[in-house]
Amino acid sequence: MDEKTSRTSKIAAAILMVINLIIMIFCTLLFAFSLWMIASPSSLSTAIQFTGSPTVMALLEPEVLTVQLGVAIAVLATFLFFISFMGFYGALTKSQFLLFMYATLVLLLLLLECALLFYFSSGLMEKGVRKEDGQWSHAIRLALTCCEHNNTSPEIDRPPWSCCGPGGYPNNCTSSNIYKKNCHEAISSWLQRYQTAIYALLAATHLILASCSLIRRRRSASRFLS
């Protein structure tokens, strides 16, 4: 029985270490990207232009690469790295305190992510795509190949470039080649199809990580008491 418990603890530790190591690497790259944005947004914009991807160039145009955005990304990357390191190091050293804190933070993150998802999805369902949403509105149009305008709209003389796809950037979008699908209908259809699955995936991922952390912590506590 003790051997089986030990094997389970090792599996839980392996899952924690692998997943959190991947997240830590991603956060490091994201933090480096944010530092580049803060230090030299012009050179970052030049590098993005060399990628050759119309979608990336359009969504990450020079006006978007601001110091404020860089600082926000750096803070987010640091926060997620801190949590992931806590899980990785706690699993490696069998620290009861780190494993408990990690499990708690993972569950709190689940609640926060579900709340944010509900807030943004409700806003999209109610208000649809709005011009003031900035790059988010462009990203939604490109992802769903939709447009909230149509050929009879009075403002159709200059539709947003994303209504015509990446090729419409920056001023090549006209009423003759806009997406025919309505954005509000496309968003509603997409959310009805995938929203439950997204909630389930978020819950499953966070619960698995929290459970692995508590399993590893329980094994560590039993060895300490023995």
> What letter would DSSP give residue 171?
T
Q: In total, how many domains does the chain have?
A: 1
Determine the Cα–Cα distance for residues 1 and 12; give it in Å rounded to an integer: 17
CA pair distance 48, 53, nearest whole angstrom: 8
Cβ neighbours for 36, distance < 8 A, ≥ 6 positions apart: 43, 44, 70
Which range of residues forms the domain containing residue 31? 2-225
- CA–CA distances in Å: residue 50 to residues 37, 45, 47, 53, 75: 16, 9, 5, 8, 27
pLDDT tens for the chain, 226 residues: list them. Answer: 445 557 888 899 999 999 999 999 999 999 999 999 999 888 888 888 777 566 777 777 778 888 999 999 999 999 999 999 999 999 999 899 999 999 999 999 999 999 999 998 888 888 777 766 677 888 888 888 888 876 555 555 678 888 888 877 777 788 778 888 888 888 889 999 999 999 999 999 999 999 999 998 876 655 544 4
Instruction: Tell me the backbone φ, ψ of residue 182, rounded to 5 degrees.
Output: -75, 135
- Rounded Cα distance between 39 and 123, Å, is 34
CA distance 22 to 20: 5
